[in-house]
Amino acid sequence: MGVVLVYALCFALFCICVNSQSVTLVPAIITFGDSVVDVGNNDYIPTIFKADYPPYGRDFKNKQPTGRFCNGKLATDITAETLGFTSFAPPYLSPQASGKNLLLGANFASAGAGYDDHTSLLSHVIPLSQQLKYYKEYQVNLAKVAGSKQAASIIKDALYLVAAGSSDFVQNYYINPFLNKAYTPDQYSSYLVGIFNSFIKDLHGLGARRIGVTSLPPLGCLPATRTLFGFHESGCVSRINTDAQQFNKKINSAATQLQKQLPGLKIVIFDVFQPLYDLIANPKKSGFTEATKGCCGTGTVETTSLLCNSKSFGTCSNATQYVFWDSVHPSEAANQVLADSLIIQGIALIS
């Protein structure tokens, strides 16, 4: 353990040196997935899953909502800064996704999306299959800006981030009686992992070589999940956490096989379950005071701007004390803890 900590410390110091010279450890960051990584694509589509109203973004630069489901930065924003980026890759559907901004990468994520395209269709958001089509468009546009040779180099050396699966369970499987009668949680996990396999193979076929994928978080500990599915159970909903852990085992196994099968692929499954669970189980250890509800409104069911907005009752004054910003998404302070963990776990992707 001591060697690991020394290695991590050396890496952090190296990052600081890199940051001071405005050099990035990867040329671009390209992101797919759901609301934990969406930086504003949903602002440009007709869906209720938006975060373009206050108080979202109240602790972000300029104190303005950007479409991020957070009071401030996402874990991926903090990771990008640690890797030396001073600007973030834009949401692909925004006007900012043009010209030299494309050199930073692009974000295709859409809040409410899942591995299962049916999950996205229920929420009227951008399915993962469409996100991949947008990525193909991005490659064409990048070549126009950078030239084919530099574009190919960026595509090959970029860091690819994928975060999905939570919406498949919380917004689809657990509330869809047809789906949860047709599949056991274990069977549905296998179905999703099959889609994950195909997605990674397609991404690899399009040139991606460094891919980081988040595991499922402790879904049973989300304030919304406790409210909707807890049935007076104290603490986290254990059966839902068990489902998440079983999915995580399957996706880890799948990633191991993919790395053996696909030439040149580096893939890491980032464990977000344990670091977030530790924050929730013992918030005071990391300086938090509240882990059972979010900062915005009642903190028990607010997951969109329709419920978490400037008129929300009782929105907290200091989000740094809360593990959750709304009833599903971590606060910037919690995202900082998660980002610290992701950097250590992801050293293999950028070495």
Tell me if residue 30 falls in helix, strand or coil: strand
Q: Note the pLDDT of residue 351.
A: 81
Using alpha carbons, select from 36, 61, 59, 53 the residue that is nearest to residue 316: 59
Which amino acids are annotated catalytic? 35, 326, 329
Query: Is there a contact between 228 and 327 (Cβ–Cβ < 8 Å)?
Result: no
Name the residue range of residue 193's domain.
Answer: 24-346
Q: Note the pLDDT of residue 306.
A: 56
Q: Note the pLDDT of residue 15.
A: 46
Q: Does residue 185 have a cis peptide bond before it, meaning omega lies within 30 degrees of 0? A: no
pLDDT category at 23 given cuts 50, 70, 90 is confident
Is the pTM above the cut of 0.95?
Answer: no
Neighbours of 228 (CB within 10 A): 16
Q: Note the pLDDT of residue 230.
A: 86
Domain count, the chain: 1
Torsion of Cα atoms, 270 then 276 then 282 then 283, to 10°: 130
* Domain presence at residue 96: yes
Neighbours of 264 (CB within 10 A): 11
Q: Using the predicted structure, report yes or no on whether residue 250 has a pLDDT greater than 60.
A: yes
Q: Note the pLDDT of residue 234.
A: 80
- CATH number of the domain where residue 331 is located: 3.40.50.1110
pLDDT category at 19 given cuts 50, 70, 90 is very low
* Domain presence at residue 36: yes
What are the pLDDT digits (tens) for 164-183? 999 999 999 999 999 999 99
Tell me if residue 169 falls in helix, strand or coil: helix
What are the pLDDT digits (tens) for 58-107? 999 989 999 999 999 999 999 999 999 999 999 999 999 999 999 999 99
* Domain presence at residue 11: no
* Domain presence at residue 281: yes
* Domain presence at residue 56: yes
* Domain presence at residue 63: yes
What are the pLDDT digits (tens) for 213-234? 999 999 999 999 998 898 867 8
Radius of gyration of the chain (CA): 19
Stated as kind and residue range, the H or E segment containing 276 is: helix 273-281
What are the pLDDT digits (tens) for 195-206? 999 999 999 999
* Domain presence at residue 351: no
